[in-house]
Amino acid sequence: MVDARRWIGGRIFTGSGYAEALLIEDGHVVVAGTEEEVRRASPTGVETNQLAGRLVIPGLVDSHLHLSELVRQREGVALERARSIAEAGERIADWAVRNPHGPIFGRGWNQDELVDGRWPNRRDLDRSAPDRPIVLYRICGHVAWANSSALALMGIGRETPDPPGGAIGRDSRGEPNGLLYESALSLAEPIVQNALVVDASRLEPTVQSAVQMGLTSVASMRADLPEIEGLRTLARAGRLPLQVRLYVGIRCLDAVERAGAIDVSLSSGPVRVIGVKAFADGSFGGRTALLDSPYLDAPETSGIAVASPAQLAEVVTRARSRGLAPGIHAIGNRAIDRALDALETDRSPPPPARIEHASLTPPTTMDRIDRIRPALIVQPGFLASDYWLEDRLGPERVRWAYAFRTLLEKGHLLAGSSDAPFDSFDPWVGIRCAVRRTDDAGRSANPIRFEGLDPERAVALYTVNGGRALGDESIGSLRAGARADLVVLNGGRLEQILDRSVTPVAETWSGGARVA
């Protein structure tokens, strides 16, 4: 007997249009059509779900987040919205009492929000816990703040040179000041990884919160072996309620391959390695995103090239030789140009090559995107969190930041994502920003109204377009043949998702089973 269920009495947004009713069998969509069509196709014993006027949409896809970092955010010191170095110090001290052993790790600080009016340094931390190494990531994840004990463990001293593609912050006397930028973060990585091993039990609360927000597929970036194994353990135990696609960090590609984690026999399961992630530049927040001319508010810099053109080309070759897709992080227009150089001759079948973020796309860069056509993985939520962007770029350049509608109208594949925990994990924050282009206070990185999307197109970024970016068109749509991953909304119209006072998600279903 088939396992069949139908939804009637409401409306279905399939990802590209509307239907009246939906029939699923054995975890897949059989009909999205009129109620009459669904009734005629229904087998005996079909279960019926009455929608009572509510709207069903495809399960949401977050095409770029960081599961291990979300686990570390949940377990480490939370420094989001700390207003002073002293307040950060209190939070660290509280956490250290509750977690008395091992290194102290955390994330979320932002020097622009500190009343101190300066960057924090290692001496600020040496007061709170002199004997334990401390590593704290900035909100963007591109800068770390460490204490003297951590610097000693990393072997960083006065004579240590800056690594290629990164920098070690120094005080006026040339001593390391505790700040590490871009590729220098890899020196701190072992401390943070040893402080907390990401495993199945630690991943489970994070995947549970994902399905509660309506996510049924996520792409986790810079995944490493413990994360992949933790997710597969959950899947084998029947406790992974969503599809996970993984982009392995270029530095752990060999280890992941040696462990057999890219094995094709695993390529039909819910946890699949499909790509390799590499960096071309940093972030606007740290002024490390690579521009073709200097920052307006820091004329001494145009950003940091984290990888050379030869390194980026090698990432593409290494990924494709293993049947994987390259995903290149590029935010500034110069970095996007370099990513396009590396992808220029890439003509492989799906999953498509991707540019992660692709934030600043002036007309010359857009023309090249038109020719090379990578998938662009965008974060509409950055419109709200980068509200200061015009100060960094000036009014002319900022016009081409997050130009989503222009890019869509040129026919590019834009997939929506959160980049959590570097921005809000909640996909509805990004969907609302894609429509409104401002935060609740009306602030925006680029408020140009023309670039706003209608709610259907905004949801499409997080559904159909997400499936295409992951090279799997059975994800993110409710057309016949697709996976029965769906969300029942609390209401009948997509426009109401713009109203923050209504919780959008009533139910989440994955592969035909209710998961939230």
Contacts with Zn ion by CB under 5 A lie at 419
Nearest Cα residue to 218 out of 236, 240, 200:
240
Smallest distance, Zn ion to C-beta of residue 297, A:
24
Query: In the complex with Zn ion, which residue's Cβ is closer, 5 or 66?
Result: 66
Contact 6, 22 (CB under 8 A): yes
Smallest distance, Zn ion to C-beta of residue 66, A:
6
Smallest distance, Zn ion to C-beta of residue 237, A:
28
Smallest distance, Zn ion to C-beta of residue 140, A:
9
Smallest distance, Zn ion to C-beta of residue 100, A:
32
Query: In the complex with Zn ion, which residue's Cβ is closer, 60 or 378?
Result: 378
Query: In the complex with Zn ion, which residue's Cβ is closer, 277 or 483?
Result: 277
Smallest distance, Zn ion to C-beta of residue 436, A:
23
Contact 509, 443 (CB under 8 A): no
Query: In the complex with Zn ion, which residue's Cβ is closer, 227 or 419?
Result: 419
Cα atoms found within 13 Å of the Cα of residue 24, Cβ hemisphere only: 25
Instruction: Please name the residue ranges forming H helices in 259-394.
Output: 309-321, 333-343, 363-372, 382-385, 389-393
Query: In the complex with Zn ion, which residue's Cβ is closer, 386 or 419?
Result: 419
Q: How many CB atoms within 10 Å of residue 26?
A: 11
Residues 6+ apart with CB under 8 A from 242: 59, 207, 210, 211, 215, 216, 217, 218, 270, 510, 515
Q: CA-to-CA distance for 49 and 39, rounded, in angstroms? A: 13
Here the tokens at position 186 are 């890899």
Which position has the token pair 């991943």?
A: 203
Bridge-based pairing of strands 486-489 and 414-416 is: unpaired
Helix, coil or strand: residue 83:
coil
Smallest distance, Zn ion to C-beta of residue 454, A:
27
Q: CA-to-CA distance for 122 and 514, rounded, in angstroms? A: 48
* Residue of this chain nearest to Zn ion (CB atom): 419
Query: In the complex with Zn ion, which residue's Cβ is closer, 277 or 287?
Result: 277
Query: In the complex with Zn ion, which residue's Cβ is closer, 25 or 419?
Result: 419
